[in-house]
Chains A and B, each alone.
Chain A
């Protein structure tokens, strides 16, 4: 039942505005892939293209070898879950779930049986005769999920399904969605702007910006090894330091920024090009009061309390940086320190022309 989804060089326009540029994306059978990005990045456009509510200007969309590109949306056989649930207000919960089965020509007793079984799975069989208006947000989204799953679609798509729910319920629901998706093995595309949500439930995440795919990989890799500065900033690498190699001795590279030199090992970082960016989260810069430490000289600014650490706004010759310091020894603003990069929490990025 489960099928791979394949987008080949898909572009889309709203009028003359290009909203999606040359997107190629392959989702394997049974995989859950998230499209992640800020509003306007093209993630919802991509979902609407796959669903068939928009036509691509160029490119093709294949589902399990079936070419969807020119197929009208009602013939695509894709289960959709919407942000605002989109339940049929004039139908009971049971009739909502049975709607897709009715379109497939199933008899009324068979429809009822399958819809009830599906409601059972999402734990709502007791509410089968209710009107959707009488349900809570979480219950509505469960009905929407049941309605999309009951037609056993080869592809399931979610458009910000948890955005209208409160924080606690959001976490519970995403676990529930992932469990249902796993046990059904349905290929899924999940659109969200919430990084934690995307990373926690996806096999792979596609990070998008301004209609382009920035990086498509496993959450673990996106989190630790972003491929470019956009993704790096997006996943929290707040410090991006431009460096230039001035000497190479074996594996050890000496690089310089604004008169300060750092020594980096290629055994840890991999091959280092002549000009590059060193990216790290605030956790990856150790605040050291030891004058002999090898790091960037910095002057501490504002200190904020994060619970697990203190965070400092720092002034350095290479520009403002953010570093976390230990809870045991809070330092005062104005203190001169060294910021020591921790290799396992830093990554090397290619410099990107004029940024």
Chain B
């Protein structure tokens, strides 16, 4: 592969040089400087060992035609056959032309001007709604896609019924399912009116996604009471199993009445449509992270340990010392200094990232790997990681 990496690099260099030539000639420093640029660049790449010396331009010419296989978005259309993937806005409403006529179906289209616009705001700015509403009939339909029939609705509902009874995220789902259930065949305005009524059912989950535009308001991070939320954060991020910690947590909580932003970005209203399930946290068995504009749900809040450290003195009677910076993984420090130098680096684009329990799967494409001092290019890569 090294040879083809070299030839691709040579092509890239030539392509860049050719395409900026005009700029250099017209009002720039001219051909000589361009030649100097090319020469130095090539020399450096040869020095780095990623381009063969001498540059085999003839060989390089051969490659371009050979691999003209366009890389398609592997998620479209969604075939939820393999693993039980949690459907997301991206899967359910892939930004493909196929989908775009559907939002116009009259069934779920709320009448414009019936007050939907109040709730229209959050959905308007997401990547997908922008994308689809732009290509369909304009902004009015942006929120209707939440309720429209979708060919990709079925797979999620089957696995949802098999979902194990594990339900850790009550705080997060509170009120959400009612909304979703109401949303499936009614105009979105209904959802809010029914918010606090009824009981929740897991089977209602698929409907949640049909109500895409309104999920995040009820799903926790943004609207949870600060106290409640902090318990989640502390317990979840530090893996405290013992009840002995509860007292300390209470103290921590009281010492910090409010912890802003611990969970990453507060959901931006404009992101909400595209982030339907990121706040499901532990409750969701399988999550999909392919959503644009999704704040990282599982990032451990950096500032969580801080309040505990303040309580250091008061917790003498506890068996273990409170959590503090020393609990951080040593390797975290290595990240900072090491990552620039260790040079094992993969640069790519992701198509799909999913997690099932501690098993992560990701689909990457168009990547450059620099591993063991070699550059290797790939068109596609599948990753399976254990966390």
A, B: real partners: no
- A: which residues have CB within 8 A of B? none
- B: which residues have CB within 8 A of A? none
